[in-house]
Chains A and B, each alone.
Chain A
Amino acid sequence: MAQVFPKTEGAVEAAPSSPRGFSLSNRTREWIAGYLFVLPDALGLLIFVGGPMLLSLSLGFFSVSGFGEYSFVGLDNYRRMIGDPLFWRSLSVTILYIVLLVPALYVTGLGLALLVQRNTRFNGFVRTMLFVPQTVSLVVVSLVWQVLLVDKIGLLNQFTSWLHLGQYSWLGDPRFALYVVVFISVWFLMGFYMLIFLGGLQDIPKEYYEAARIDGASALQSFLQITLPLLRPTSFFVLLVSTVTAVCGSQTFDLIYVMTRGGPANTTSLAIFYIYQQAFLFNEYGYAAAMASVFVVLLMGLTVLMFMLTRGGRFTYD
């Protein structure tokens, strides 16, 4: 009777000896293959993200004229930031923008996903329509909204006049401008977040809802007890991505650049726009880089906090 030896790791890894006398274990081959697969992306990140970030961080310690002159100024750019009211203004405008935009995107994205989650032909059409803004250039979006919102003769003002609610300068009045930009940002982005929530909703087994219905649960109870808890990872992703989008998404810059130029009276001067102004209009590349570094640190801090509070989006506390 043949003796049965326990199967050991070494035995599994043993590879037939190569005729050339050079062999790699299966585990080593898998290890190499894994890293080779990751390599192109890692290199891309290193060269196109890591490199510029490092360069930007370094630039923050220099005074850069924009015409080839660099002089080391240590922490001067950071000190200047502390005394720059426009930096604090842009920071507060950005925080308000995040506070308004992120919950609005969450609510509209989830709400729309719940409304169109059933696979019917009509819902398919509505989903497409809601996603259409994403396919249009932000410059075009800005120009169209500008026409709709223009003083006196814009469509919205004609509507408010018809309702005897008066006329307003939606983009020229500091009381409204930022809220209008938030509204247009939500309109532009909600289709994208709706799709993410749709993906999350489709991952929830139907049996849970059937069991709840048999137990007499109402629609609201099903939503609160089944949908929301099981959507936690998706919610985490949406909150994280929309926060990053609020700080440095393309809509953050493009809408402001085309529609308000940071005005009226700096009320829509978001951080990314102020950094742009300092770098490309005032040739203050060093100062702009220092501000960008501060915002990156703040954003990373916020991300780490969100990861810690939610256990990496798993929400498992036991």
Chain B
Amino acid sequence: MINEENGSSETRSAVRSGPSRRSVLATGAAATALSGFPYISRGRAAQTLKFWQFYAPGGGVATQDKWFEDVVKGWNDTHDAKVELVYVPNNAYMDGTKLPTAFASGAGPDLFIISPGDFLRYYNGGVLLDLTPFMEEAARADFFPSVIANRMVNEKIYGLPYEVEPMAMYYSVEAFAEAGLTEKDVPKTWDELLTVAKKLTNEKRFGVLFETSPGYYQNFTWYPFLWEAGGDFQTADGKSAFNSPATVQALKFWQDAVNMGVAPRKPLGGGGWDAVPNIGSGYCAMQNVGIWAIAQLREGAPNFKYGIFRLPTPPGGKYLTIGGGWAFVANAKGSNPKAAGEFCAWALGSMKPDSVDRIVDWCTKAKSDMPPRKSALEAGKAAFDSGFLKTFTDEIYPGARAEPRMPPPVYKAISDAIQACQLNGQKPEDAAAAASEQIDAFLTNYKGAPIL
């Protein structure tokens, strides 16, 4: 038995072989000071630029994950200010709370990606950095005007796109054959589309699929039909142009597809953008989906035989499609906006071959997209002139109009009109008038960047 009262210091140290209470407290305090206090953590974090997106590290598609990793590695190997990829799952990124709450709490990422549909929300919030000073004139001119327009305000560029995603129609070769149809029967007009869809519809399959879930994506897919019919959102004097015969025509087209029973009210999988569980699984014979479906089907349904055709037109209408796509943007209120701006320009907005090749690689290897830059279209000519990408290059992309950017209340008014007609049987005339009234009410007091 050890007598604490009389034990020597050696004896005490032998008994207390583990760390003393004081040392534990001191270590804990030091650890807390180094890693726990937010301000110190923030100071350390300021060394690294956080890049939020939904591809890497650990994203679902290996080629896209690798592309992002390579871009960041290329930058980090040659620059002092480092960039770190932060993966945010797709659903949490697009419609979730992560990005909005980060900005609301003043902790938004230094770099992130946005689509044109979300541009005004962030631009009007004052968090988008002007990237123009970081770019050379030749690179600015290298972007297709129709693609860069919706990322610009007052001649300044606030986002650098790395892809253009035009919408098209996909069809199942097998379903066509089953219904006794051939490539010659590919519909060219809206009426033909509904007729063909009826022939393709059976007990287990819908003839055609349009998006039905309310949201930015559904609006995005409906806009080209409005344009093809000659409609638009705003008049030249900034008033709503939504209450028009063209709007009624486009709303009625989607309504007819559902009412005739040739289009589903609910798509499978993630929704109308998801090709594999819909056209790839035989749930529908034709699907309105974008260029990215080539990569989806290549990965998820490699044996599926399909064809692609451009959006049909209404009587007397002109072919048009929509070119969506995402862009790199930098946070003007981030920890190091200058470095973030330089990163964007270095990655996607420089005339150096690396920058151009990055876009070619993304559009032809990591994904299946059209390039937003003339030089990239030229550099990747071999790939863009082969396979399904050639169909897009030659037939679909030339008719692409930039995805509109609009503030949330305008988007919501249009979304409600689409939903009411497509799924709730409302008269298109009434829906167009109601939405137009709401848009006008909003535009009266709107003071943000122009809606395009």
Q: Which residues of A contact B (CB under 8 A)?
A: 64-69, 86, 146, 150-153, 161, 169, 171-174, 260-267, 279-285
Chain A residues with Cβ below 8 Å from B283 are 152-153
Residue of B at shortest CB range from A264? B423
Kindly provide the distance from the CB of A93 to the nearest chain B CB, expressed in whole angstroms. 13
Across the two chains, which residue of chain A brings its CB closest to B421?
A: A265
B104-145 toward A: CB 8 Å interface, digit per residue (1/0)? 101000000000000001101111000000000000000000
Q: Which residue of A lies closest to B408 (CB)?
A: A282
CB–CB A267/B104 < 8 A: no
B336 at the interface (CB under 8 A from A): no
Evaluate whether A280 and B423 lie within 8 angstroms (CB atoms) in the complex, with A153-B283, A261-B214 already known. no
Chain B residues whose C-beta falls within 8 Å of the C-beta of A151 in the assembled complex: 206, 264-266
Return the contact of B203 from the options A152, A261, A266, A281 (Cβ within 8 A). A152
**Can you name the residue of chain B whose Cβ is closest to the Cβ of A168?**
B265
Residues of A within 8 A of B266 (CB): 146, 150-151, 169, 171-172
**Smallest CB-CB separation from B126: which chain A residue?**
A67
Contact of B213 with A68 in the complex, beta carbons under 8 Å: no
Return the contact of A172 from the options B97, B101, B125, B264 (Cβ within 8 A): B264
25 A-B pairs in the complex with CB atoms less than 8 angstroms apart:
A64-B104, A66-B103, A67-B104, A67-B127, A68-B333, A69-B126, A150-B266, A150-B268, A151-B264, A151-B266, A171-B266, A172-B212, A172-B264, A263-B212, A263-B419, A264-B212, A264-B214, A264-B419, A265-B419, A265-B420, A266-B214, A279-B100, A281-B100, A282-B408, A285-B104
Are the CB atoms of B423 and A152 closer together than 8 Å?
Answer: no
Interface contact A280-B212, CB-CB below 8 Å:
no
- In whole angstroms, what is the CA distance A65 to B108 when docked? 14
Q: When the two chains form their complex, are residues A281 and B424 in contact, meaning their CB atoms are under 8 A apart?
A: no
Q: What separation, in Å, do the CA atoms of A151 and B416 have in the docked complex?
A: 22
Complex Cα distance A86/B96, Å?
21
Q: B212 touching A65 by the CB < 8 A rule?
A: no
* Inter-chain contact A67/B412, CB cutoff 8 Å: no
Instruction: Write the chain A residue with the least CB distance to B281.
Output: A153
**Interchain CB contact (< 8 A) of B264 among A67, A169, A262, A281:** A169
Question: A86 CA to B214 CA in the complex, in Å?
Answer: 14
A150, A152, A279 — most chain B CB neighbours (10 Å)? A152
What 9 A-B pairs are tightest by C-beta distance, nearest first?
Answer: A172-B265, A67-B125, A265-B424, A282-B408, A264-B423, A169-B265, A172-B266, A265-B419, A263-B214
Q: Does chain A have a CB within 8 A of B302?
A: no
Chain A residues closer than 8 Å to B124, beta-carbon distance: 65
Quick one: which of B96, B215, B416, B424 contacts A174, CB cutoff 8 A? B424
**CB closest residue in chain A, given B213:** A261
- On whether the beta carbons of A65 and B125 are closer than 8 Å, the reply is yes
Q: Does B204 lie at the interface of the complex (its beta carbon under 8 Å from any beta carbon of A)?
A: yes
Give Cα A174–Cα B221 distance, bound, in whole angstroms: 22
Docked pose: A141 CA to B449 CA in angstroms:
42
Provide the residues of chain B in CB contact with A283, threshold 8 Å: 100, 121, 125, 408
B409 adjacent to chain A (CB < 8 Å): yes
Kindly list 5 other residue pairs between chains A and B, CB separation below 8 angstroms, not including A263-B214, A281-B95: A172-B264, A265-B426, A281-B408, A282-B409, A283-B408
Is there a chain A Cβ closer than 8 Å to B198's Cβ? no
Digitize B209-242: 1 where CB-to-A-CB distance is under 8 Å, 0 elsewhere: 0001111000000000000000000000000000
B66 within 8 A of A: no
Say if the beta carbon of B199 comes within 8 Å of chain A.
no
CB nearest to B423 among chain A residues? A264
**A contacts with B: majority SS:** loop
Instruction: Let me know if B82 is at the binding interface, CB within 8 A.
Output: no
Q: Please, how many angstroms separate the alpha-carbon atoms of A172 and B416 in the complex? A: 15
Asked if residues B268 and A173 are in contact (CB atoms below 8 Å), the reply is no
The residue from A69, A152, A174, A263 contacting B206, defined by CB atoms under 8 A apart: A152
Q: How many angstroms between the C-alpha atoms of A150 and B267 in the bound complex?
A: 8
* A266-B416 contact given A261-B215, A282-B408, CB 8 Å threshold: yes
Output the least CB separation between B447 and chain A (Å): 12
Per the bound structure, the CA–CA distance linking A290 and B396 in Å amounts to 46
> Across the two chains, which residue of chain A brings its CB closest to B203?
A152
Q: Does B401 contact A (CB under 8 A)?
A: no
Are the C-beta atoms of B213 and A263 separated by less than 8 Å? yes
Contacts of B206 in A (CB 8 A): 151-152
Q: Chain B residue with minimal CB distance to A170?
A: B266
A contact residues around B126 at 8 Å (CB) = 67, 69
Chain B's closest residue to A147 (CB) is: B268
Please give the distance in Å from A293's CB to the nearest CB on chain B. 18
Bound-state CA distance A280–B100 (Å) is 6
Residue of B nearest to A277 (CB): B412
- For the complex formed, measure the closest distance between the CB of A270 and the CB atoms of chain B, giving whole angstroms: 14
Q: Nearest residue in B to A83 (C-beta to C-beta)?
A: B441
Give the docked Cα–Cα distance between A245 and B299 (Å). Answer: 42
A264 and B265 form a contact (CB under 8 A): yes
Q: Look across to chain B and name the residue whose beta carbon is closest to the beta carbon of A284.
A: B408
Q: Which residues of A contact B416 (CB under 8 A)?
A: 86, 265-266
Contact between chains at B213 and A280 (CB < 8 Å):
no
Q: Which residues of B lie under 8 Å from residue A65 when comparing CB positions?
A: 124-125
B74: min CB distance to chain A, Å: 31
* C-alpha gap A238/B422 in the complex (Å): 39
Measured between beta carbons, the chain B residues less than 8 angstroms from A267 are 424
- Of B104, B125, B422, the most chain A CB neighbours within 10 A belong to B104
CB closest residue in chain A, given B282? A153
Tell whether, in the assembled complex, residue A152 and residue B205 are in contact, meaning their CB atoms are under 8 Å apart. Answer: yes
Residues from chain A with a CB closer than 8 A to the CB of B121 are: 282-283
Q: How far is the CB of B107 from chain A (nearest CB, A)?
A: 11
Given A66-B104, A172-B212: A153 and B424 interface contact (C-beta under 8 Å) = no
Whether the Cβ atoms of A68 and B95 lie closer than 8 Å is: no
> A172 contacts which chain B residues (CB < 8 A)?
212, 264-266, 423
A67-B103, A67-B104, A151-B206 known; A263+B125 contact, CB < 8 A = no
Contacts of A64 in B (CB 8 A): 104
Report if A152-B100 is in contact (Cβ < 8 Å); known contacts: A67-B126, A169-B266: no
B106 in complex: contacting residue of A68, A161, A174, A265, CB < 8 Å: A68
Query: How far, in whole Å, are A94 and B409 apart by their CA atoms in the complex?
Result: 22
Q: Which residues between 157 and 188 of chain B lie within 8 Å of chain A, taking CB atoms? A: none
- Known contacts A65-B125, A174-B424: A262-B104 contact under CB 8 Å: no
